[in-house]
Amino acid sequence: MVSAAFKEAQSLFTPVSVYSLLACAAQFVVGYILAQIWGRKCSGTDRWLLVWLFYHAIVHITLNNNVHPLALGSPRNILRYCSDSYPVHVGKEYGKADERWLHSDPTIVSLELLMVVLDGILALVLVYAIVKDKHYSLLVCLFSGTLSQVTFCPDWLAGSPNLKSDHWLYLWIYLVFFNGVWVVVPGQLLWQSWLSLKRLHLSYQAPKKQKYTFCMYIIGISTPTTQKGQATQKL
């Protein structure tokens, strides 16, 4: 039984899977270092946000940018036979969990190219916005989460014929963890941006109310609060 478990683990953790996971960890470390360098004057929360943005840009620009263009206009199953480069090996490894990555699936290719062109560049723009304290930094919440959901929705509706969940590595690490990060983190950023917009709205409304009350005082009109107090005193 121990031998069978060892053989199963050996079949799962191939050299490609090991250095792919190590590469993901290294990309996070690089993102963390860049965030500490560029975000020296930022708050702790903003520095962690920069970590995410750098990691997000590195993943999409270095991996997705090299894997999916290979499938454009190419025959089916091209990733099984084409280049021996590192991104292609990563694509083949992830294809063990999602077979759509092993051929030119139009949904995957179109969405991932959009994430490379839009998300990768936008992430770097938002790094600049946060470091320079620009107003458009609130846009940080508007990307990735929706695209990550759309990536899987077509396959879910078809009964998940391409998603493999027979091994914990493919299900919990490749599918749930690595894709869940791109849903949970943007969702949290969406919530934080909502709170920031709410605070901005309240700060904008407060001066208008104060100005209105002051004008009413100048011309001798009581505020509703004052009128209520006067009525209470009469009683």
pLDDT per 10-residue tile (average), the chain, 235 residues:
59 83 93 95 90 90 61 48 66 85 76 77 87 75 59 80 86 89 82 82 71 51 48 47
Residue 82 per-residue DSSP state: S
Any idea how long the chain is? 235
Q: What is the C-alpha separation between 138 and 205, in angstroms, rounded?
A: 20
Intra-chain end-to-end CA distance of the chain, in Å:
88
Q: What is the C-alpha separation between 111 and 151, in angstroms, rounded?
A: 7
Which pLDDT score, from 0 to 100, does residue 166 have? 82
Which pLDDT score, from 0 to 100, does residue 196 have? 80
Which pLDDT score, from 0 to 100, does residue 29 have? 97
Residue from 125, 131, 121, 145 nearest 46 by CA: 131
Which pLDDT score, from 0 to 100, does residue 9 have? 62
- What is the phi-psi region of residue 73: left when phi exceeds 0, alpha when psi lies from -120 to 50, beta otherwise? left
Residue from 172, 77, 99, 184 nearest 141 by CA: 184
pTM above 0.95, yes or no: no
Which pLDDT score, from 0 to 100, does residue 211 have? 54
Which residues have C-beta within 8 Å of that of residue 71, sequence separation ≥ 6? 78, 79, 103, 104, 105, 109
